[in-house]
Amino acid sequence: MTVSRSAMRFARSGRTVTALGLAFAALVSACAPSPPAPKWPNFGGDAHRGKLLVGRYSCGACHQMPGIEEADGLVGPPLATFSRRTMIAGLLPNTPSNLVLWLRHPQAVTPGNAMPDLGLTDAQARDIAAYLYAKP
Amino acid sequence: MTRDSRHRPQQLIPSRRTLIIWLLGVASVLAVMGLGALAVVEGGLFDATASTPDNPIAAVGIHTTFIRSVQVRAAHIQAPASFSPAQVQAGLADYDASCADCHGAPGISRASWANAMTPSPPYLYDAARQWRPRELYWIVGQGARMTAMPAWSESRSSDQLWSLVAFLEAMPYLTPDEYARMRPRARGTGAAEPRLSEPHQRAGR
């Protein structure tokens, strides 16, 4: 009961965000069209690859991330309990599709914030999201 | 077994035989370790690629070694009591031209190739909260071995190095917008050009 309701909520917000994402893609006309609405909880991301990407992109320079070497940054929020976070950047509800949107285009979501656009591909963002959600 | 040994307090004074066995054991362990080291060095067992991350235990060891090395060697350096806005501006211009490709800047990511470096060059937004000014001066001036961090004292005066430190100290107080406004290229002045030639002007900057 609870599970199905939250699943519906995720599906609904997923559609909304996909629409937003499509509008965004049309605006910048640089991104490929958004993929179909991702399925929660596993939407094609690989948590193991995500962990490697987290190291390569130095996420830990700004975020505390237990299990990642030298990930002790305090510029942005700690990411240990990301799966239980309610909002992303205080702005987006914490859904997989919103997380992918944020990871790929933080400067489009919140212009002028400290997190740079890292140039992540959609697949890379999904892998990182899968890693963040794999933590309890 | 002799009467003596039976009455000797055990553990405190090992017999000669026990000593010899122990020494042989230690020697053989050392021999195996030496052969192992030889195999790694001569046998090509060490993975020297940048495409695979460091072993986590080795990474912690290397990082701690670096931190302590910097702390000890920078201990004698006398940092200025304060930095002027002009120093911050000069340091920002130098940083933007020579450091941001690898270390990023407020709201600006590193060059994409910097993501393929091992060890990964850190973003430095809060470097001033992790290092003392004299330690930053030491790292910038002397570089970091077995990373791609050069010793910038080769091409920078002491004043220029301190200006870079001044900027690093100021960076936690700069918003990405302020940083963008203070960049020389954004203002189009061409001021404070770095002394090193820079063939890799980044597109869109």
* Per-residue confidence band for B37, with pLDDT thresholds at 50, 70 and 90: very high
Question: Does residue B193 register a pLDDT over 50?
Answer: no
pLDDT at B13 (0 to 100): 78
> Checking phi first, is residue B190 left (phi over 0); if not, alpha (psi -120 to 50) or beta?
left
- Two structure tokens written together for A58: 């130095």
Record the tokens describing residue B13, joined without a space: 């004074």
Within chain A, which residues score under 70 in pLDDT?
A: 1-42, 136
Of chain B, the end-to-end C-alpha distance in Å amounts to: 86
Taking the C-alpha atoms of residue A37 and residue A19, their distance in angstroms, rounded to an integer, is 9
- Phi-psi sector, A120: left (phi>0), alpha (psi -120 to 50), beta: beta
Cβ distance B144 to B66 under 8 Å? yes
Write out pLDDT tens, residues B139-182. 999 999 999 999 999 999 999 999 999 999 999 999 999 999 99
> Who wins on pLDDT, B5 or B39?
B39
Q: Residue written as tokens 């909520």?
A: A9
Q: Which of B53, B112, B125 sits opposite A114 (nearest CB)?
A: B125
Question: Which band of pLDDT confidence, cut at 50, 70 and 90, is reported for residue B191?
Answer: very low
Confidence of residue B187 (pLDDT cuts 50, 70, 90): very low
Chain B nearest-CA distance from A53, in A, is 9
Sign of the C-alpha dihedral, residues B40, B42, B44, B47?
positive
Name the band, by pLDDT with cuts 50, 70 and 90, for residue B10.
low
| CA distances in angstroms from A131 to A21, A65, A123, listed in the order given | 22, 11, 12
Whether B157 contacts A92, CB under 8 Å:
no
Residues in chain B with CB shorter than 8 Å from the CB of A56 are 53, 115-116, 120
The answer to whether A103 touches A59, Cβ cutoff 8 Å, is: no
Beta bridge partners of B149: B144
Contact B164, B149 (CB under 8 A): no
Q: What is the rounded (10 degree) CA torsion for A23, A26, A27, A30?
A: 130
Shortest CA distance from A72: residue in chain B: B130
Confidence of residue B136 (pLDDT cuts 50, 70, 90): very high
Question: Rounded to whole angstroms, how far apart are CA atoms A94 and A103?
Answer: 12
Q: Which backbone phi and psi does A134 adopt, to 5 degrees?
A: -70, -20
> What would the mean pLDDT of B94-122 be, rounded to a whole number?
95
Closest to B129 (Cα-Cα) out of A69, A112, A62 = A62
**A97 in helix, strand or coil?**
helix
Q: Quick one: pLDDT at residue A23? A: 52
Structure tokens, A34: 């958004």
DSSP 8-state code for residue A72:
B
| pLDDT reported for residue A40 | 56
Instruction: Tell whether the model's pLDDT for residue B59 goes beyond 60.
Output: yes
- A51 closest CA partner among A136, A135, A128, A112: A128
Instruction: Return the DSSP state at A91.
Output: T
Contacts of A75 in chain B (CB under 8 A): 123, 125-126
| Alpha helices for B8-84 (secondary structure H) | 16-42, 56-73
> What is the number of residues in chain B?
205
Contact status, residue B111 vs residue B152, Cβ threshold 8 Å: no
CA-based nearest distance A12→chain B, Å: 31
State the ipTM, two decimals. Answer: 0.71
Name the closest residue on chain B to residue A51, using Cα atoms.
B53
Report how far residue A31's alpha carbon sits from residue B32's, in angstroms, rounded to the nearest whole number: 56
Residue B77 has pLDDT above 80, yes or no: yes
Alpha carbon distances (Å) from B190 to A108, B164, B182, B193: 29, 18, 12, 6
Of B60, B63, B109, the CB nearest to A116: B109
User: Is the predicted pLDDT of residue B15 greater than 70, yes or no?
Assistant: yes
- pTM of the complete model beyond 0.95: no
Nearest chain A residue to B123 by CA distance is A61
Chain B contacts to A (CB-CB under 8 A): 53-54, 56, 59-60, 63, 104, 106-110, 112, 115-116, 120-126, 129, 175-177
Assess whether pLDDT exceeds 50 at residue B40. yes
- Do residues B166 and B91 make contact, with C-beta atoms less than 8 angstroms apart? yes
Nearest CA in chain A to B52: A52
